[in-house]
Structure 1
Amino acid sequence: MAGIKALVGLSFSGAIGLTFLLLGCAQYGVYWPLFVLIFYVLSPLPTFIARRASDDTDSTSNACRELAYFFTTGLVVSSFGLPIVLARKAAIEWGACGLVMAGNTVIFLTILGFFVVFGGGDDFSWEQW
């Protein structure tokens, strides 16, 4: 039952994040910030691949996972940088940039929450879903 509550909570927070993103686009009438959706899809992929490809030893450092964390960090930083670059080049307004940044924060905290809740090897994991 705890897994269902966590899944509902993560779904709600993801919907709030997407609402910020769409509000930033629709309020100003420019839909360029929707390109951050690509980063939302791509950011968990290196971690999923690294968890599947690496062995499950209890060592403190794993090169495959460290590389996946590096790529994930690059994708997350790029998703925060894209609205700033678009606002700096006057493709979008700064208010839209702020709303997209708020949406990015909520969405990436939701993705982090997903890995925290469903990433462990406890009685439930993300592999069930």
Structure 2
Amino acid sequence: MPGIKALVGLSFTGAIGLTFLMLGCALEQYSNYWPLFVLIFYVISPIPHFIAKRASSDSDAASSACRELAYFFTTGIVVSAFGLPVILARILVIKWGACGLVMAGNAVIFFTIFGFFFVFGNNDDFSWDQW
């Protein structure tokens, strides 16, 4: 049952993050949908972790070069997701209020992604390896 509660909590925080993103795009004073490009970063941010987990599953070392490279790529993706709204606001494609809402949505969504890996990343009774 704790897994179900964690999943419900993570889905709730993910919905809050997406609400901030949609508010930054759809409010009448902003009405510009360019910030939706950060959705690409949400999708590709876990990919390096999955690749590194699959590639380094044979070794039980606490740290490996593959895992460190995955952390590096994931950090670059997350920083890019926070940088895109700032760049768009700086060149006056979106307004600064929309940038703030998108940044708040980014923080919540990436916290949710991190929480997912924290809760479901352990190799205890529940594992995604069975899929």
Q: Shared fold (TM-score greater than 0.5)? A: yes
Residues in 1 aligned to 2:12 and 2:60: alpha-carbon distance in whole angstroms: 34
Aligned-residue offset at 1:60: 2.5
Q: Which residue does 1:2 correspond to in 2?
A: 2
TM-score, with structure 2 as normaliser:
0.94
CA distance in 2, matches of 1:56, 1:121: 14
Unmatched runs of 5 consecutive residues or more in structure 2 = none
Take 1:58 and 1:81, find their aligned partners in 2: how far apart are those partners?
A: 35
Alpha-carbon displacement from aligned partner over 1:31-86 (angstroms, at most 9, x marks no partner): 00000000000000000111011134332321111101100000000000000000
| Structure 1: runs of 5 or more not aligned | none
**What percentage of residue pairs aligned between the two structures are identical?**
77
Cα distance 1:126–1:9, how it changes in 2: closer, same or farther (>3 A)?
A: farther
* 1:124 CA drift (Å): 1.3
Alignment of 1:36-55 (within 5 A): 36-55=38-57
Moved over 2 A (4+): 55-58, 125-129
The aligned length equals 129
Match of 1:23 in 2: 23
RMSD: 1.2
2:103 is matched with 101
